[in-house]
């Protein structure tokens, strides 16, 4: 599928509080050129929540002729890996965006950040503290009680410089000392109560190796990296709202080359889904899913593998808008965006997932014919193809009932139905095995109904999809459902207990129209009457595998209609 025609599909005049702010900053000259950044921590794969941040940061840059950088927030060497860096780059590109210049890294600025930490010490605005993590927490106070000064808060500039240098030189073990900004232990904002800005971590870093054994915290690295890169609007999620005073304090108290501003927007949350990287990591590490790109995962790579187009994710995100109030979205809205897009773009094919053999007794033995089939009724340009028809075909087991109620409009003994693009058939006999299981149907066809209409004007109520036995391709088809049964799985620590045991169903021996073998991994298609599907990268020519992206029924449209 062609995913290159992107970056421009947001409505030209999208209005939200961030875009309004950018518009006014550009209009009054506060900002000459907009610069944003997408700052993932490379400790996992990107998920659909990140897609919201990607679409916002890259989206505004393209709408306002600005620049968006990709910056890896790689300040914690304990959890970060090259595999994640590579996957993040691939996923951002697949989403349809290209960052300005080479990818940046917070670690590119470690020298500068160190110098700025020294600058704070020299100006009496930072000190080395010997309290351990627990003591620091206890001294910090609570929302209702002010914090208490650390006994080390009064250290002289000289002593602090000496200790910080020795921290850097590796003289102390992990956790023995930290560097803290000296701000205000009685601030109403706990983030301002002398936040830790450097910690000791004796761990090799994927990019800087063993050069450093002290690393800046997120708060110290982030705003300063923004300033170095000339970021004008630093867009992040609401949980950083309380960090903004610290962000501003650091920008004001350091000789940084620019004054970026931070703006916060609501995170994306989805029902039946966990989006915390810690929890997604647990699902992968404990083997509850088959890797980060398992099609049941809410990761961008999982969605891609399931067959969800990037354009549908962008559409979904743009419908949500950018606000300041947290909400949880029904994934049925994403499904709706996917269906709306694929209905227009996906070619139709026939595939039988649970095959039941049908022998058409009055069709000449040993013969067959090619029939015209429309590729996409929504798109004339998609043209037609030929499908093979013959004496033996497969239909869906569900499309036959021996004792059918009146309202069952599919096949039953003595009843007539239409085979899509082919003929009317009537069931004349049911063949069973020793244990009474139906293994085959006998039918007759009416040669006058070729193409699907009876010249005498008689009607049938049902139209079935089918595949000719002569050249059917055997395939595996994987069906997916919500990964969790709990609509809010993330609220409990024991969220794995709410995993849906039926989230994956694997069908083998499915019968496909052979033209499905011409599709590539990543192409979307509709299996008529069954849903949208995509070829899985596990496929080989001998053993193709297809994922069900989505069924055809749109529950979101129904929810909207009833509300």
Indicate which residues carry an active-site annotation.
Answer: 41, 267, 277
CA distance 291 to 536: 14
Total of residues contacting ligand ATP (CB under 6 A): 15
Q: Is 60 in the site for ligand ATP (CB under 6 A)?
A: no
Instruction: State the nearest-atom distance from the C-beta of 49 to ligand ATP, in Å.
Output: 2
Nearer to ligand ATP, 93 or 148 (CB): 93
Instruction: State the nearest-atom distance from the C-beta of 275 to Mg ion, in Å.
Output: 12
Q: What are phi and psi of 313, to 5 degrees?
A: -65, -40
CA distance 261 to 226: 9
Instruction: State the nearest-atom distance from the C-beta of 41 to Mg ion, in Å.
Output: 5
Instruction: State the nearest-atom distance from the C-beta of 68 to ligand ATP, in Å.
Output: 12
Instruction: State the nearest-atom distance from the C-beta of 520 to ligand ATP, in Å.
Output: 30
Nearer to Mg ion, 274 or 411 (CB): 274
Q: Is 50 in the site for ligand ATP (CB under 6 A)?
A: yes
**Residue 318 binding result from Mg ion, ligand ATP, none, given CB thresholds of 5 to 8 Å by partner type:** none
Q: What are phi and psi of 51, to 5 degrees?
A: -60, -35
CB nearest Mg ion: which residue?
A: 41
Q: Which of residues 6-65 bind Mg ion (CB under 5 A)?
A: 41
Give me the 223-252 binding string for ligand ATP, x by CB under 6 A, dash otherwise: -------------xx---------------
Nearer to ligand ATP, 49 or 531 (CB): 49
Q: Is 59 in the site for ligand ATP (CB under 6 A)?
A: no
β pairing state of 351-352 and 504-512? antiparallel
Q: Is 275 in the site for ligand ATP (CB under 6 A)?
A: yes
The secondary structure of 410-442 as a DSSP string is: SB-BT-EEEETTS-EEEEEEEEE-TTS-EEEEE
Q: What are phi and psi of 504, to 5 degrees?
A: -135, 125
Q: Is 302 in the site for ligand ATP (CB under 6 A)?
A: no
**Residue 236 binding result from ligand ATP, Mg ion, none, given CB thresholds of 5 to 8 Å by partner type:** ligand ATP
Q: Is 61 in the site for ligand ATP (CB under 6 A)?
A: no
Contact 44, 291 (CB under 8 A): no
Total of residues contacting Mg ion (CB under 5 A): 1
**Residue 306 binding result from Mg ion, ligand ATP, none, given CB thresholds of 5 to 8 Å by partner type:** none
Residues 6+ apart with CB under 8 A from 335: 550, 554, 555, 556
Indicate left, alpha or beta for 421 from its phi (over 0: left) and psi (-120 to 50: alpha): left
Q: Is 277 in the site for ligand ATP (CB under 6 A)?
A: yes
CA distance 553 to 530: 9
Query: Contacting ligand ATP (CB under 6 A), which of 267, 410, 450, 529?
Result: 267
Q: Is 298 in the site for ligand ATP (CB under 6 A)?
A: no
Query: Contacting ligand ATP (CB under 6 A), which of 39, 77, 147, 302?
Result: 39
Structure tokens at 145: 């009680």
Q: Which residue has the tokens 């006058």?
A: 448
Query: Contacting ligand ATP (CB under 6 A), which of 31, 34, 40, 304?
Result: 40
CA distance 111 to 117: 10
Candidates 37-45, 282-290, 526-534, 554-562: pick the segment binding ligand ATP (CB under 6 A). Answer: 37-45
Candidates 36-44, 90-98, 109-117, 332-340: pick the segment binding ligand ATP (CB under 6 A). Answer: 36-44
Residues 6+ apart with CB under 8 A from 153: 127, 129, 182, 185, 194
Q: For residue 257, how many other CB atoms are within 10 A of its CB?
A: 11
Candidates 44-52, 90-98, 333-341, 536-544: pick the segment binding ligand ATP (CB under 6 A). Answer: 44-52
CA of 239: how far to CAs of 203, 263, 266, 298, 325, in Å?
A: 28, 11, 9, 21, 11
CA distance 78 to 83: 14
Q: Which residues pair with 559 in a beta bridge?
A: none
Nearer to Mg ion, 41 or 162 (CB): 41
Nearer to ligand ATP, 167 or 235 (CB): 235
Candidates 271-279, 418-426, 451-459, 487-495: pick the segment binding ligand ATP (CB under 6 A). Answer: 271-279
Instruction: State the nearest-atom distance from the C-beta of 106 to ligand ATP, in Å.
Output: 11
String of b and e for 355-380 (b: at least 16 CB within 10 Å)?
A: bbbbbbeebeeeebeebebbbbeeee
**Residue 66 binding result from ligand ATP, Mg ion, none, given CB thresholds of 5 to 8 Å by partner type:** none
Structure tokens at 454: 């009876």
CA distance 178 to 169: 14
Beta strands, E only, 58-101: 67-72
Nearer to Mg ion, 41 or 159 (CB): 41
Binding site for ligand ATP (CB under 6 A): 39-41, 49-50, 52-53, 73, 236-237, 267-268, 275-277
Binding site for Mg ion (CB under 5 A): 41
């Amino acid at each position: 599928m062609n995913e290159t025609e992107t970056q421009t599909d947001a409505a030209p005049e999208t209005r939200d509080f961030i875009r309004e702010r950018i518009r006014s900053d550009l209009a009054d000259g506060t900002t000459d050129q907009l610069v944003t950044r997408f700052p993932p921590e490379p400790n996992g794969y990107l998920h659909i929540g990140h897609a919201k941040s990607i679409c916002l940061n890259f989206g505004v840059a393209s709408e306002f002729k600005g620049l968006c950088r990709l910056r890896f927030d790689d300040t914690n060497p304990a959890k970060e890996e090259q595999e994640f860096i590579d996957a993040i780059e691939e996923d951002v590109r697949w989403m349809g965006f290209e960052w300005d210049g080479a990818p940046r890294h917070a670690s590119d600025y470690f020298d500068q950040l160190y110098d700025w930490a020294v600058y704070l010490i020299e100006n009496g605005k930072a000190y080395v503290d010997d309290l351990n993590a627990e003591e620091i927490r206890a001294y910090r106070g609570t929302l209702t009680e002010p914090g208490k000064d650390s006994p080390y808060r009064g250290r002289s500039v000289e002593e602090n410089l000496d200790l910080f240098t020795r921290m850097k030189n590796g003289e102390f073990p992990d956790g023995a000392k930290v560097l803290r900004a000296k701000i205000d232990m009685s601030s109403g904002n706990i983030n301002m109560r002398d936040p830790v800005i450097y910690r000791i971590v004796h761990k090799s870093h994927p990019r800087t190796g063993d050069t450093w054994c002290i690393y800046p915290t997120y708060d110290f690295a982030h705003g300063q990296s923004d300033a170095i890169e000339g970021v004008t609007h630093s867009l992040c999620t609401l949980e950083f709202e309380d960090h903004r005073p610290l962000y501003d304090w650091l920008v004001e108290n350091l000789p940084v080359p620019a004054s970026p501003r931070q703006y916060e927007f609501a995170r994306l949350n989805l029902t039946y889904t966990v989006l915390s990287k810690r929890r997604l990591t647990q699902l992968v590490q404990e083997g509850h899913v088959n890797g980060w790109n398992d099609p049941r995962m809410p990761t961008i790579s999982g969605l891609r593998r399931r067959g969800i187009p990037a354009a549908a994710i962008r559409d979904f995100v743009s419908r949500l808008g950018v606000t300041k109030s947290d909400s949880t979205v029904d994934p049925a809205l994403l499904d709706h965006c996917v269906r709306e897009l694929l209905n227009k773009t996906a070619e139709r094919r026939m595939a039988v997932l649970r095959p039941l053999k049908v022998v058409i007794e009055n069709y000449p033995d040993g013969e067959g014919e090619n029939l015209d089939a429309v590729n996409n009724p929504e798109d004339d340009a998609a043209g037609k193809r030929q499908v093979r028809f013959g004496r033996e075909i497969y239909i869906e087991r569900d499309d036959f009932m021996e004792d059918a109620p009146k309202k069952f409009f599919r096949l039953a003994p003595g009843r007539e139905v239409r085979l899509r693009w082919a003929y009317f058939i009537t069931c004349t006999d049911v063949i069973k095995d020793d244990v009474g299981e139906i293994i085959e149907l006998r039918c007759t066809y009416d040669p006058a109904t070729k193409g699907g209409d009876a010249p005498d004007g008689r009607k049938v109520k049902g139209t079935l999809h089918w595949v000719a036995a002569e050249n059917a391709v055997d395939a595996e088809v994987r069906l997916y459902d919500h990964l969790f049964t709990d609509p809010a799985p993330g609220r409990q620590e024991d969220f794995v207990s709410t995993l849906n045991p039926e989230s994956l169903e694997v069908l083998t021996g499915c019968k496909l129209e052979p033209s499905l073998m011409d599709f590539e991994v990543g192409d979307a298609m509709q299996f008529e009457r069954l849903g949208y599907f995509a070829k899985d990268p596990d496929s080989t020519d001998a053993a193709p595998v297809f994922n069900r992206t989505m069924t055809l029924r749109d529950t979101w449209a129904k929810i909207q209609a009833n509300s």
